Chain A
Amino acid sequence: MSQLQSASEVEKIAQIIRTSFAKTNSSMLAQAYFDGSIIDNGENSALLEMLTKNGLIRPSEEDGTYMLAINLKRILDKLLLRHASYRKRTDIAKVMQHIDGDIKSYKRALLTGQHNEVSFYLSQVDEELYGIVYELEDSVSGLFAAITSKFGFVDSLESKIHENEKAIAYTEGLLNALADINLNDVYSWLDWDDVPAELSRKVTFFIDGYRRINRQLEGAVHRMRQLLMTLRKQNEQVARLKAMSKFLKDNPIWELDDYAEREQVPAIFNRVAPLQLSASVDISNQVQQEELTDIYHSLRKESKSDSETVDLRSSGRIDDLQQKARQLEADYVLSQCEALFTRVLSNKGDPFSALHYWQQDNQLTDILPKHLWLSILYNEYYKCAPAVRKVMTIDFPDANTTELPGSILISGNLRVSDIQLQRP
């Protein structure tokens, strides 16, 4: 029921708007606004009567003439001012000149006691001052929306940079526009005896608004410049990373220079090496002794409960684990081949014995026998790029040929007991 009622009221209002602002009515109302009044010529009487009935016009003091209703005139004034201030937004200096003129007119009207004009000029000043603050605040909020969301709407780094540059240019434009406002001039509007409180309030509102917006804009420009710097830096980093990657692919034997040997080690390499930290328990200390006993018991308990709960054979995971262990061992052996190659390449002139390397690495000796290590290493050497092999020579010291099938055979009848690698 209430919905029906509200629908009928909406329709009633829509009807009033349709009839009041029909094409002919609009022209007549516009004429009344600009000319100040409209004359009843007999032909337009019905229309004038209807507009009067709708409260859009009212009979004036002169017979046969009509004026716009006060409320409608005020609304039109406001709309026109807003439109005008929007257009003038980029030329704040002109708006300030207008306000200055309006304040002078206001002062004159006040001194001569023309109350209607006083009210008119005060309203003009109010609209202009409010208009500037409103428009600037609107721009600032739009700007903040751009900073916080717009850059997020575009994905690519290039677009983000472009959006940021646009926003900075826009903000700087606003700041330049604000520079046209000289606060000394604004204060001078109040620099006369018995300034009415209502004018003083409006001007103070404007000054406060101006200062607030200025601060916000300066903050925004600062933030955006920082962001732009970060974005540009990121852009450069991406470009350099890609180029470095290409450079490394094109130069397979390029290596980082030995900066640690330079007299002045560059600051970028000044980092501490991991320090092994360990502490021992003082068993003569009663408190530590008790804690140690507790830890010992809890560890025993833990290992017991582990063995009780996990039956690897029954869950069929033995094979998986063995396979994983084998894989890890294989990875380790291959990584050691690489480590040896790296060492050879970084130490020009020094010969490296593969056998010695294997003997020094307990894990390696546990995983595989000597002959397998040498075979794998030999295999990996020939997998290296030709450019790498060119700068890393391979030699087989004490190698001899034999007719007997030896366990350390690399090719045909060559019996090898060590491999020597060197960067000549």
Chain B
Amino acid sequence: MFQTTVELLLQGHTICQVSQPDAYRYLSEQSLFEKVNDYLRLINRKVKVIEDGLAFVACYCTIEEENRTDIRQQLRQVRDIFRPLVNFLDLAMTALVHDCAMRAGDTIRLSELLRGIEHEPTLKQQLALLTNKGIFKTSRNDISEQLNFILKKLDEAGYVQRLETGSTIYQITAKMNYIHELIDFINDSESLKLETQNNHIFDDSQSEMF
């Protein structure tokens, strides 16, 4: 299990209960965690613990010029997915009438999403916009196929995991929590004042009611 765990970390996987249960259990053992960490330290990497042990990822011990390229590559990937994913999560929460954030361990059912979107013209329009550009861009016009495409893309990127082959139920991995973490970071570092924005959203919805 040592080799598998190290390889998964080096390949950039976020190891959590959903995505890699065996490696997750392995790293949850303090002594084995230390063993993996000691090994990675030899190559300027270490295991980063996410949200009190919710997940594990590998990061660099020190950022030098040679690994800046890797970080650039990572950042590019994050940048590509950030906007469409945030918009998709917002859309999914509205469609599923969820007031809880979608986090590791939660499930997304294609059928429920479809049911929530197909009779709502506004949501259908949002989905069409979402699949018109970015990483979710597809030539498919059918809502079910569009949703399937998005979930497939998220599965490939490691944000969700199909429950079993052929299933249309996906389980959210701890990588999704990174998006929430990122929103908090952007909000603070770029002083977006999202809390105030949220009040405006509330005002807007109130005015729509009248």
**Nearest CB to that of A334 among chain B residues?**
B137
B119 within 8 A of A: no
Could you name 11 residue pairs across A and B whose Cβ atoms are closer than 8 Å?
Answer: A237-B184, A247-B197, A248-B86, A256-B75, A256-B79, A267-B59, A268-B182, A269-B78, A273-B74, A335-B135, A335-B137
| Interchain nearest-CB distance for B114 vs A (Å) | 19
| Interchain nearest-CB distance for A407 vs B (Å) | 24
A249/B180 in contact, CB under 8 A: no
| Stretch among A56-64, A135-143, A178-186, A257-265 lining the B interface | A257-265
A7 within 8 A of B: no
Point out which of A270, A272, A383, A384 has the most chain B C-beta atoms below 10 A from its C-beta. A272
- A257-B189, A274-B11, A334-B139 given; name 13 further pairs at CB < 8 Å: A157-B100, A240-B187, A241-B180, A248-B86, A256-B82, A257-B190, A258-B75, A265-B71, A272-B60, A273-B73, A275-B11, A330-B139, A338-B137
Point out which of A234, A241, A244, A338 has the most chain B C-beta atoms below 10 A from its C-beta. A244
Main secondary structure of the interface of A (DSSP, over half): helix
Question: How far, in angstroms, from A342 to B81 measured CA to CA in the complex?
Answer: 11
Main secondary structure of the interface of B (DSSP, over half): helix
> Across the interface, which residues of B come within 8 angstroms of A334, CB to CB?
137-139
With A255-B79, A260-B75 known to touch, is A245 a contact of B87 (CB < 8 Å)? Answer: yes
8 nearest A-B residue pairs (beta carbon): A273-B70, A245-B90, A243-B197, A243-B194, A274-B12, A237-B101, A243-B198, A260-B72
**Which one of A255, A266, A271, A346 lies within 8 Å of B12 (CB-CB)?**
A271
B86/A245 in contact, CB under 8 A: yes
B100/A234 in contact, CB under 8 A: yes
Which B residues lie at the A interface, using CB under 8 A? 7, 9-12, 45, 48, 57-60, 63, 67-76, 78-80, 82-83, 86-87, 89-90, 93, 99-101, 103, 132-135, 137-140, 149, 180-187, 189-190, 192, 194-195, 197-198, 200-201
Question: How far, in angstroms, from A158 to B1 measured CA to CA in the complex?
Answer: 42
Which A residues lie at the B interface, using CB under 8 A? 156-158, 234, 237-249, 255-261, 265-275, 277, 327, 330-331, 334-335, 338-339, 342, 346, 383-384
> Across the interface, which residues of A come within 8 angstroms of B137, CB to CB?
331, 334-335, 338
With A246-B197, A268-B181 known to touch, is A241 a contact of B189 (CB < 8 Å)? Answer: no
Question: How far, in angstroms, from A342 to B182 measured CA to CA in the complex?
Answer: 19
**Which one of B10, B89, B103, B133 lies within 8 Å of A275 (CB-CB)?**
B10
Question: How far, in angstroms, from A261 to B69 measured CA to CA in the complex?
Answer: 10
Point out which of A239, A242, A269, A384 has the most chain B C-beta atoms below 10 A from its C-beta. A242
With A244-B186, A275-B10 known to touch, is A156 a contact of B99 (CB < 8 Å)? Answer: yes
Question: How far, in angstroms, from A266 to B10 measured CA to CA in the complex?
Answer: 20
B11/A338 in contact, CB under 8 A: no
Question: How far, in angstroms, from A156 to B133 measured CA to CA in the complex?
Answer: 33
Question: How far, in angstroms, from A268 to B73 measured CA to CA in the complex?
Answer: 14
**Nearest CB to that of A326 among chain B residues?**
B139
> Across the interface, which residues of B come within 8 angstroms of A269, CB to CB?
71, 74-75, 78
**Which one of A157, A241, A258, A335 lies within 8 Å of B86 (CB-CB)?**
A241
With A247-B194, A335-B137, A338-B133 known to touch, is A271 a contact of B90 (CB < 8 Å)? Answer: no
Question: How far, in angstroms, from A269 to B63 measured CA to CA in the complex?
Answer: 11
| Interchain nearest-CB distance for A123 vs B (Å) | 52
B99/A338 in contact, CB under 8 A: no
> Across the interface, which residues of A come within 8 angstroms of B69, CB to CB?
273
| Interchain nearest-CB distance for A55 vs B (Å) | 61
A272/B140 in contact, CB under 8 A: no
| Interchain nearest-CB distance for B89 vs A (Å) | 6
> Across the interface, which residues of B come within 8 angstroms of A335, CB to CB?
135, 137
> Across the interface, which residues of B come within 8 angstroms of A383, CB to CB?
132-133
| Interchain nearest-CB distance for A222 vs B (Å) | 15
A238/B183 in contact, CB under 8 A: no
**Which one of B60, B73, B139, B190 lies within 8 Å of A327 (CB-CB)?**
B139
